[in-house]
Chain A
Amino acid sequence: MIRKTVLPLCAAVMSLAAVAGCGVLGGDDPAAEAAKKPAAGSSSKASGAQPPYDVKPLLHPDKEYFGVALNGAPSSLKPVDAFAETVGKKPDMVGSYSSWGDGFNAKGAQNIFGDGGLMYVSWEPFKPGLDKIADGSQDTYIKKYADSVRKTNVPVAISFGHEMNGHWYPWGTKDTTPATFVKAWRHIHDVFQDVGATNVIWVWSPNVVNPVPSVKLKPYWPGDAYVDWVGIVGYWTRTGAHTFDTLYGPTREQIDAFTDKPVLISETSSEPGERRRADVRALLGGVKADKDVIGFLWFNIPKRADWRIQSSPLALAEFKRLIADDDFGFEVPRS
């Protein structure tokens, strides 16, 4: 009788114990792990487990961005390093240009982020026209681009269709309307959101209104929900304005009427000449003084003019002196 009842009981208990043992061993609950561990700790499992980069801390930095656009960068970091040596400070933002149809320069973005900065992309819709982008017929490309951006999981600033208020680009005032521009912008933004590329800082970047005073900026504004930074393209030329206020003031006045997003001088340089040193002083001084301006991106490429700072020793000396200020440049947060 004992044998009849005890032995099956033993067998049952043993098998249950074995099963429960398996349960303890095999009972990994990734969500429970995620709730406990610091986010970085979970990266060991798979790269997909890494949380998406949150760009929020980058939107209103305490210090000023110090950006630069260089030939050969960011696919290679050598020009950046050379420039850093020239001016005595490492830039934390590197500009790049991407024509519509080009793939996203994921390697460049990772290079720069690995070096402590972020990539600034000017996305130039030369070809199919903004109406094509707006109507969704370019979605395959946009999705692919967005997915590539999402997968890099590093912060990227994207300025689509910059200088839209000028007439010199195909997406400018000549061939398209502000409504189409806004529609295209929002559409791209929506696709990026659907794909989940949340690591993008959206930069709405008009040219300074000075050469095109009749073009109002407000109709081009996609809305606060679609833009993170206002970028202003404004070069210091021999014949143009020579104070921070006169160069950027009229544009900012218009913009202040519809948004209070932070402002980046997203493309600037000073034309070689006698006033170059003063221009540099005015630019850096203005950026540092204005709390709404979060930095500038220096166009250091010879194109139509020699915009490189090293082409003018005096201006370079002034640049080196001013950029040494601790307010310029900072390491972009790692996560």
Chain B
Amino acid sequence: MTTQQQDGGWSEPGQQQDWQQHHPPYSEQQQQVYDDRQAYGDQQAYGDQQAYGDQQAYGDQQAYGYQQPYGGQQPYIPQQPTPGQQHYARPNTGGSDAEYYVPEYTVVEPEPEPEPEPGYVLPEVPVSAWSVDNSRSAWISRGVLLLILLVQAGLSFRLDGSAFPQEAKFLTSDGELSGLVSQLGLAGARALSLAWALGATALLFGATRLLFNARAGLAAAAMYSVLESTAFTGRYASPHSLSLFLLAAALWLLARTRQAGPAAVLLAAPFAALAPFAAYAAALYLPTLTVLAVLTAYRFRGAGAFLRGAIFAGATGALCFAGVQLAGTPSGWNVKGTDSAVELLKESAEWGGVVLLVAVIGAVGFIRRARMGEMPWAEGGAPGAVRRSLLGLTMCATALLAPLYQAWLGNGSSLYIHVGFGLLFAVPMAGLGVSRMMGAHFRYPQIGIMIYVAALVIGMAQTGGLYRPPDSAAMIGALREVVDTKGEYLTDDPEISAYYLKAQTKPAQWHQAGQGAALTAEVKKGSYDAIVLRTGSVPEALRGSADYRLLAVLRPSDKDGGQEPYRIWVKR
């Protein structure tokens, strides 16, 4: 028998007709045969059919196909010949088949074929369409990230002006790092800061993507990129930007090595350890990184996670200790001041409040549900409630470190920059928050857009207000005519003068001017060849001075900028 025969039997009614016509008297006999075949079972009867391969399914169909119609119309239904039938057909010429039917062979059970070893096993299918790490979605994410970075660069380039005193100080100091950077000049150093800032945003995206998903990562990067502190730091020639980059790199490496063995966390330690040496404010965040080292450990729960944290803390601590031995303690980290704590906290809330609020929303959402429920049937590993709570709490609380610490010190110096250090850690949660508020399948994109636009506008307005470097161009231009290599100069901005007039003077010729009585004493001494003050009116010490005459009053070109004019006095 061939397949052709079998199929042909079904498809050509004429032949069936024929067959029926030729053998009408044996209809009963046929029924008998059919029952026999049933006894063989569906497949045994087709023992030889195995050879036909995928015809197996056909065989099944056949078996059912016969059974049901036979119930009603037994004698006349055409029937497919089977091996058994072929066999019976021969003795048709004689009488009852039961008498002479002798099976000529025995049916052998076919040996089941062994299951083949799988050559390839499909990986676990991720739960959300967006987190499918295929090339297309990855490129979409990168494209969006690039846009975010371009916006960030634009927000930084919006800011312009001459050097801040701290920038000038950094560019004239003879440290190894600043020595290299000062070769670039102010514009070059600022561009380098922007590069670090963009790198930090990209790493933040990467870390958030690894910890949560790409959507949260993009939202986090978008939120972070429009912060006042981000735009400011990206246009500030100082090591702050580098320090942020190092922290972001450490965070990313923690996320990257979350599935590896505990020792892999050592990769993150050098970055974390270097950060405080770039900017002391980063030291506040080493504990956060240690906690995150524990909480982000994915594969090793329990002891493994704590081991990971311990390795990170130990390595970072050892490197910091070595750094302190080599380079000395970074200075300025514990200088007390007289700024109002309430005022500092209020300012911090203005600078980072929106992001922190969104982060708290994200953390609450994350604690309640590990996943948004975009695909309710999705299963897979997710952190437990305790770990989620701790992660949410750690990330949100970190944003408060710098404001609380500086409020306690009463020292608001550079707080508008330091706020960004803490927000770097809270922003992943904010990204998650935006992602959650937009809802499954971007159901409420307007919420995300609203938050982004609000953060953008607030950030731009705040940066515009904060980024007001002294308009020193006119002062420098006038002083250039006054100074020489021997004179001693008293000024409110010695760093700026020393930096810009480095071709004409040495930094040691510039002295910081005092205020009130100290200034009066300095003026009375009469040992300075020029005095440069930034003041709205002539100070009492110089009113009617017999030694000094007012050479020039130089107003900032931006009259609404709120800056006091520079006043230059020279010896009479």
The interface stretch among A13-21, A91-99, A207-215, A304-312 is A13-21
Q: Is residue B223 contacting chain A, with contact meaning CB distance below 8 A? A: no
The listed residue (B149, B185, B473) touching A34 by CB distance below 8 A is B473
Q: Are A48 and B162 in contact (CB under 8 A)?
A: no
What residues on B are CB-neighbors of A54 within 8 Å?
A: 551-552
From B185, B473, B545, A30 is in contact (CB under 8 Å) with B473
Tell whether B1 is near chain A: CB-to-CB under 8 Å.
no
Say yes or no: A49 contacts B543, CB within 8 Å.
no
Note all chain B residues with C-beta closer than 8 A to A22.
Answer: 153, 157
B-binding segment of A187-195, A237-245, A263-271, A275-283: A187-195
Could you tell me the distance between the alpha carbons of A42 and B142 in the complex, rounded to whole angstroms? 44
Question: Which residue from B202, B496, B550 sits with its C-beta under 8 Å from A31?
Answer: B496
Query: For chain B residues 190-241, which have a beta carbon within 8 Å of chain A?
Result: 190-191, 194-195, 198-199, 202
In the assembly, what is the distance between CA of A23 and CA of B474, in Å? 23
Q: Does A46 contact B (CB under 8 A)?
A: yes
* Residues of chain A in range 97-118 having any CB-CB distance to chain B below 8 Å: none
Contacts of B191 in A (CB 8 A): 19-20, 23-24, 27
Q: How far is the CA of A223 from the CA of B549 in the complex (A)?
A: 13
Instruction: Tell me the complex Cα distance, A193–B567, Å.
Output: 10
Contact B162 A51 (CB under 8 A): no
Residues 117-136 of A at the B interface (beta carbon under 8 Å): none
A313 contacts the other chain (Cβ, under 8 Å)?
Answer: no
Query: Does A52 make an interface contact (CB < 8 A)?
Result: yes
Write out, one digit per residue, whether chain B residues 548-572 have a CB within 8 A of any chain A CB (1) or not (0): 0111111101000000010100000
A186 to B545, CA, bound (A): 12
A26 touches B160 (CB 8 A): yes
| Residues of chain A with a CB closer than 8 A to B496's CB | 31
Query: Residue A1 at the B interface, CB < 8 A?
Result: no
Tell me whether B153 and A19 are in contact (CB under 8 A).
Answer: yes
Interface flag for B187 (CB, 8 Å): yes
A31, B538: Cβ atoms closer than 8 Å: no
Contact A224 B546 (CB under 8 A): yes
B188 at the interface (CB under 8 A from A): yes
* Bound-complex Cα distance A224 to B142 (A): 71
- A330 within 8 Å of B (CB atoms): no
Q: Cα distance A7–B545 when bound, in Å?
A: 67
Contact present for B163 and A193 (CB under 8 Å): no
Residue A8 at the chain B interface, CB threshold 8 Å:
yes
Report the bound CA distance from A51 to B198 in whole Å: 39
Residues of B within 8 A of A49 (CB): 473-474, 477, 557
How far apart are the CA atoms of A31 and B171 in the complex, in Å? 14
A35 within 8 A of B: yes
Decide if A257 is an interface residue (CB 8 Å cutoff).
Answer: no
Main secondary structure of the interface of A (DSSP, over half): helix
A32-B188 in contact (CB<8A): no
Q: In chain A, what residue has the closest Cβ to B193? A: A23
Chain B residues with CB under 8 Å of A48's CB are: 474, 555, 557
Establish whether residues B500 and A8, one from each chain, have CB atoms under 8 Å apart when the complex forms.
no
By a CB distance below 8 angstroms, the chain B residues around A84 are none
Selected contact of B552 from candidates A51, A186, A190, A195, CB within 8 Å:
A51
Contacting residue for B543 out of A36, A190, A198, A224, CB 8 A = A190
Contact of B503 with A196 in the complex, beta carbons under 8 Å:
no
Q: Does A39 sit within 8 A of B, measured CB to CB? A: yes
Whole-angstrom distance between the Cβ of B566 and the nearest chain A Cβ: 10
A2 at the B interface (CB under 8 A): no
Complexed CA–CA distance, A34 and B499 (Å): 12
Residues in A whose Cβ lies below 8 Å from that of B472: 31
Report Cα–Cα, A51/B550, bound state, in Å.
13
State whether A27 touches B186 (Cβ < 8 A).
yes
Q: Which residues of A contact B150 (CB under 8 A)?
A: 15
Q: Is A11 part of the binding interface, using a Cβ–Cβ cutoff of 8 Å? A: yes
Please give me the residue from chain B that is nearest to A22 by CB atom.
Answer: B157
Given known contacts A23-B190, A29-B162, A52-B554, is B195 in contact with A16 (CB within 8 Å)? yes
Q: Cα distance A91–B458 when bound, in Å?
A: 61
CB distance from A118 to the nearest CB of B (A): 18
Q: Provide the residues of chain A in CB contact with B536, threshold 8 Å.
A: 194
Chain A residue with minimal CB distance to B163?
A31
Cα distance A54–B546 when bound, in Å?
18
B284 CB–A CB distance under 8 Å: no
Asked, given contacts A34-B480, A35-B477, A194-B538, whether A8 binds B194 with beta carbons under 8 Å apart, the answer is no
Complex interface: chain A residues within 8 A of B447 (CB): none
Contact across chains for A51 and B477 when beta carbons are under 8 A apart: yes
Does A169 have its Cβ within 8 Å of any Cβ on chain B? no
- Bound-state CA distance A224–B548 (Å) is 11
Asked if residues B537 and A194 are in contact (CB atoms below 8 Å), the reply is: yes
Contacts A11-B142, A224-B546, A226-B544 given: A34-B476 contact, CB under 8 Å?
A: yes
The distance from the CB of B149 to the nearest CB of chain A, in whole angstroms, is: 6
Could you tell me if A35 and B476 are in contact, using CB atoms closer than 8 angstroms? yes
Nearest chain B CB to A18 CB, angstrom units: 8
Q: Is the CB of B544 within 8 A of A186?
A: yes
Given A31-B163, A33-B473, A39-B480, does the pair A46, B188 have CB atoms closer than 8 Å?
Answer: no
CB-based contact A24/B187 at 8 Å: yes
| Per-residue contact bits, chain B 523-540, to A (CB 8 Å; 1 contact, 0 not) | 000000000000011100
**A48-B555, A51-B552, A198-B552 are contacts. A31–B195 as well, Cβ < 8 Å?**
no
User: A residues within 8 A CB of B163?
Assistant: 29, 31
Whether B190 contacts A34 by the Cβ 8 Å rule is no
Q: Which residues of B contact A26 (CB under 8 A)?
A: 157, 160
CA distance A52 to B546 in the complex (A): 22
Nearest-neighbour CB distance to chain A for B541, whole angstroms, equals: 12
What is the CB-to-nearest-CB distance from B30 to chain A, in angstroms, rounded to a whole number?
A: 66
A225, CB-defined interface residue at 8 Å? yes
Residues from chain B with Cβ under 8 Å of A195 in the complex: 553
Asked if A12 lies at the interface with its beta carbon under 8 angstroms from chain B, I say yes
A190 touches B194 (CB 8 A): no
Check B478 for interface membership: any CB of A closer than 8 A.
Answer: yes
Find residues 105-130 in chain B having any chain A CB closer than 8 Å to their own CB. Answer: none
- Chain B, 234-268, contact with A by CB distance < 8 Å: what is the 0/1 string? 00000000000000000000000000000000000
B431-487 interface with A by 8 A CB criterion: 471-478, 480-481
Tell whether, in the assembled complex, residue B552 and residue A19 are in contact, meaning their CB atoms are under 8 Å apart: no
Please measure, in the bound complex, the distance between the C-alpha atom of A32 and the C-alpha atom of B188, giving whole angstroms.
Answer: 13
- Most-contacted residue by chain B among A15, A26, A34, A196 (CB, 10 A): A34
Contact between chains at A35 and B501 (CB < 8 Å): yes
A196 in complex: contacting residue of B188, B475, B552, B557, CB < 8 Å = B552
Question: For residue B477, which residues in chain A have a CB less than 8 angstroms away from its CB?
Answer: 34-35, 37, 39, 42, 49, 51
The complex places the Cα of A197 from the Cα of B471 at a distance, in Å, of: 19
Which A residues are in CB contact (< 8 Å) with B199? 12
Instruction: Give the residue of B146, B186, B538, B565 whose beta carbon is less than 8 angstroms from that of A15.
Output: B146
Q: Which of B145-187 contact A (CB under 8 A)?
A: 146, 149-150, 153, 157, 160-163, 185-187
B187 in complex: contacting residue of A29, A35, A37, A194, CB < 8 Å:
A29
Ranked 3 nearest A-B pairs via Cβ: A196-B553, A27-B187, A23-B191
Interface residue ranges, B against A (CB under 8 Å): 142, 146, 149-150, 153, 157, 160-163, 185-188, 190-191, 194-195, 198-199, 202, 471-478, 480-481, 496, 500-501, 503-504, 536-538, 543-546, 549-555, 557, 565, 567
Beyond the given A23-B191, A48-B557, could you list 6 further A-B residue pairs with CB under 8 A, ordered by the A residue number?
A15-B153, A24-B188, A30-B471, A42-B473, A51-B554, A196-B555
14 A-B residue pairings within 8 Å (CB atoms): A12-B202, A15-B150, A23-B194, A27-B188, A29-B163, A29-B187, A30-B162, A31-B496, A34-B473, A49-B473, A193-B538, A195-B553, A196-B552, A198-B553
